[in-house]
Amino acid sequence: MRALFLCLLLLLPGMLAAQGAATLVADTVELNGEDQLVASGNVEVLFDGSRLTASQIIFDQPSDTLQITGPIFIRSADGTILTATAATLDPRLENGILQGARIVLDQQLQLAANQIDRRDGRYSQLYKVAATSCRVCGTGPALWDIRAERVVHDTQERQLYFENATFRLRGVPVIWLPRMRLPDPTLERATGFLIPEQRNTNRLGTGIKVPYFVTLGDHRDVTLTPYLSAETTTLEIIYRQAFTNGDLRIDGAISNDTLQPGSRSYIFAEGNFELSNDYQLSFDIEAVSDDAYLVDYDYADKDRLDSAVTLLRVMDTSLYQARFTYYQTLRDDESNASLPPIIADLSYEQRLRPGFGGTLSYGADIDAAHRYSDVDGDRGRDVTRAGANGTWQDSWILPAGFLAEAQFGARADLYVIGDDSAFEQEDLRFIPYGGAVLRWPLGMQGPWDATHLLEPVISVSWAEAFGGTPPNEDSTRTELDAANLFALSRFAGEDAFETGAQLAAGLVWTRSGAAGGSSTLGFGRVVRQEAPSGFTRSSGLDNARSDWLLAGQLTLPDGFLFDARSLWDDTDGLTVADSRLAWSSDRFSLGANYIWQRRDAAENRPNTVSEWSFDSAFELSDAWTLSLDGRYDVAADRPVRGDIGLKWRNECVTIDVSASRRYASSDTVAPTTTFGLSGSISGFSTGRAAGGIGTGCRN
C-alpha cells in the first residue's frame, strides 16, 4: 500500500535543510532496525523542486547515505535529467557515486558514462563518457559524438571540461584533443571559440573565419574574428554593451590584402539611449577607408554612408528633434565636397485644440547644409534656413454621407546663402496656403458576403510665395503616389512649395471579402493653374496636368500579395511602374519586385531603368531549406547579383552552403564570386540548432 511519510522530517535531515520538508511516496515503507529506512516499489521523492524515482531507496542513518536501486530517474528544478542503474548518495544528492548513468542538459545534450561522481552539489565527474545531442538508435553510432576518458561538469559555472576527447562522425574518429572546454546548453554567454566559417571568393581566395567570443562582464562582450587567406589578413571586431538606459554596438574590421596597398578598414557604430524627460538619443556612425572595401569583403552594399546623431522627444502634443548628419559618398560620379556632406537641423512642433474647434499645429525649425568646396555655384553652395509655420485643420460629416476636410496656414523662411552668386545672400520667403477635400464613401454588400466601398475624392488648394526663390536642397526627388495625391504640396522638404491654384481628383474602390482577403484599385491626377518648376520629368508632376496615377493592391487569406503603382503621361505613355508580388506559406516564401523608370538627366539617370529582383526560401523537406535571391537588369540584359543557399538541419547538426555572384562593376568595385560553408552542432551554447527535425530510428 502506497504511503505518504512526513517522518522524513526526522530521518532525512539533509533533504529538509534544502527545502524544509520532503515527501516520500512508495508502495511499502518500513524501518529495518532503529537506523535504516527502506522504501520499495514505485518510489518517488519530491524535494526542493526536484523529483526522484527509483525501485528502492535505503536510508542508512549511521553513514548518512542513500542506497538507491534503479532504474533511477532524477529531474532537477532547472530541467536537468539524470538517469542511472544504481547510486550511493548523501541525503542532499550532492555527493556520491552513480553507476551506468546518463545526464540530459536543457533537453539537448546527453552525456552517458559508466560512472558519475557527485562532489559538493556542484561538480559531476563522468568516466568513460559519450556525449551527443543526436538521437541514438539502438547500438548504432550517433551522427556525431564526443568520446572522452573523463568529463567534469561544473554546474555553477555551467562548463564542461573534457579530457582525452575524440570527436567522431558516425563512429569514425575525426579529431583528437587532449583537453577541451565547452559551455553547457543552459549558458547563454561564455568566453570561447564560436563556429568557424569557410569563405572562398575570386578576389580574396580560399580563407577561414574563426570567431572568438569574450565576455566582459554581464553587460559587455566582444567578438574577435581573424579572417585568413592567401590574399588577406583581416581582423573583424564586434563590440556590444548594454546600459540601464540603452545599448551600444560597434562593428569594424582592419585588413591587409593584395587588392590595394596599405591597410583597409571600416567601422559602423550605433547606439540608442533613453534620457530623462522622455528624450531619446541615438547615433549611427559609418566610415570606411576606401570605396570598394565594404563590397570586396561583403560587409555592406551601401554606396553612400551616413553618420548621424539625433536627439528626439515625442509627446502627445509636441515634438522636439535635433539632428546632425555627415555623408560620405562611395559612388564614382560623386565627391564628398559636393553632396553636401554636412546637414544639421533643429525642429519643434506643437499641437493643440482651440476652443473654436479643429486642430491648430505650429512649429519652428532651423537647418543647414554645408559643402567643403569654396567654388561658386551648386558644388560649393552653403545654405542655412530658419522657418516658422502654423496650420489649422478640421473635418465634418455632411448630409448624404459626404466627408469634408479643410486646412489653412502659412509659413515663413529666412535663407542665408553662401558661395553661390545666383542667389541673394539673404532672402525672406512667406507662403500662405489653404485647401479643402471632399469625399463621398459609397458602400454596398456584394455576393459571398463581400463588402464594397467606392470613394470619389476631390480636393482644391491654393498657395502663393512672396519673396525670393531659394535653392532647392531637400526636395530634389519627388514622385506622385497615393500618399501625396491630395496634399497641399508634394515636395518632400521645405525648400520648395507648390504654388497657385490646383485641383486633384481620384476614385478608390475597395473590396473586403468575408474570408479575409481584400483588394484596392485607385486612380487620379492633379490639374494646376500653371506648370510648376522644381519637379523632374519622371516625377509625373512636371506639367500643369500631372501624369495619371494608377495603383492597386490584392491580398488573399492564403498569404498572397500583389501591390503595384504606375504613372501614365498623356503623350509619352508609361513614366514609372513599380510592383511587388509576394506569397508565403508554412513551407515557402516568395517575393518579386519589378521597377521601370524613364531616363531622366535631372535625376542623373541617362538610361531607362528596368529591373527585376526576387527573394525566396523553400522548405524542401523537414531537414532541407533552399534559398534563392537575385537581381536582373532587363534594360541592360545582364544579371546584377545572384545568391543561392542550401541548409540541412536536424536535431543536432546544421550545415549551410552558399554561393553568390556580384556582376555589377565600376572603377572601384570589381565583379565578385563568393562561396561559403559553415556548420554548427547543437547542445552547446556556441552552436545551437534548436528546432531541427529528428533523424528518427528505423527497425
CA distances to 410, 423, 437, 484, 567 from 526, in Å: 22, 30, 13, 10, 12
At 271 the three-state DSSP class reads strand
Q: Which residues contact 413 (CB under 8 A, 6 or more apart)?
A: 385, 386, 387, 428, 429, 470, 494
Give the per-residue pLDDT at 696: 57
Give the per-residue pLDDT at 498: 94
358, three cell numbers: 479643429
Closest CA to 38 of 58, 53, 22: 58
Cβ pair 583, 601 in contact under 8 A: no
Backbone φ and ψ for 185, nearest 5 degrees, come out as -65, -10
Give the per-residue pLDDT at 221: 95
Residue 27 CA to residue 18 CA, distance in Å, equals 25
Backbone φ and ψ for 124, nearest 5 degrees, come out as -120, 120
Domains of the chain, each with CATH number or no CATH: 3-136+146-155 (2.60.450.10)
The 10s digit of each residue's pLDDT in 360-385 is 999 999 999 999 888 888 888 999 99
In the chain, the amino acid numbered 461 is: S
Residue 22 CA to residue 45 CA, distance in Å, equals 7
Cβ pair 290, 302 in contact under 8 A: no
Residue 322 CA to residue 311 CA, distance in Å, equals 5
CA distances to 242, 257, 284, 337 from 307, in Å: 21, 27, 5, 16
pTM here is 0.81
Backbone φ and ψ for 201, nearest 5 degrees, come out as -130, 155
The ranges of the chain with pLDDT < 50 are 1-20, 686-691, 699
